Amino acid sequence: MSSSKLLKGSLATIVLKLLEENEKMYGYEITQRVKEITAGEFKITEGALYPTLHKLEAEGMLSTETQKVDNRIRKYYSLTKEGNAEAQTKVAELEEFLLNLHKLLNPKLGMG
């Protein structure tokens, strides 16, 4: 995420969520999808993404499958059963975190 080196720690959750929605994506595709959804504001760097994917795979959250398309290799990632559960958990955690952050940024509401 290069946009402004803002929040760290959300990349793995973002990846898991995208794979929950799409059941099969390759690295480059993930970077483009995120860029697209955020109107160019999040730019996931390869230096951040690939280590994250490898780590999730090593933890058993993702399985891989390579395909050769147009003479270029694509490494597709999908959620394992465990990865699916992890996605649920991580997304829920992140959403709760966002809620709390919101409370901190908007103290008027709820305080009076």
11 near a copy of itself, rule: CB under 8 A: no
φ, ψ dihedrals at 12, nearest 5°:
-60, -40
C-alpha span between 15 and 57 (Å, rounded): 12
101 near a copy of itself, rule: CB under 8 A: yes
Q: What single letter denotes the amino acid at residue 52?
A: T
- Site for a copy of itself (CB under 8 A): which residue of 31, 38, 63, 78? 38
- Site for a copy of itself (CB under 8 A): which residue of 2, 28, 37, 51? 37
Could you list the beta-strand ranges (E) of 56-104. Answer: 62-69, 72-79
Q: Which is nearer to DNA, 5 or 108 (CB)?
A: 5
Closest CA to 61 of 35, 42, 88, 37: 88
φ, ψ dihedrals at 11, nearest 5°:
-65, -45
Q: Name the one range near DNA by CB under 7 A: 16-24, 63-71, 79-87, 91-99.
A: 63-71
Q: Name the one range near a copy of itself by CB under 8 A: 17-25, 46-54, 59-67, 73-81.
A: 17-25
Tell me which residues touch DNA (CB under 7 A): 1-2, 5, 8-12, 26-29, 32, 44-48, 50-54, 69-75
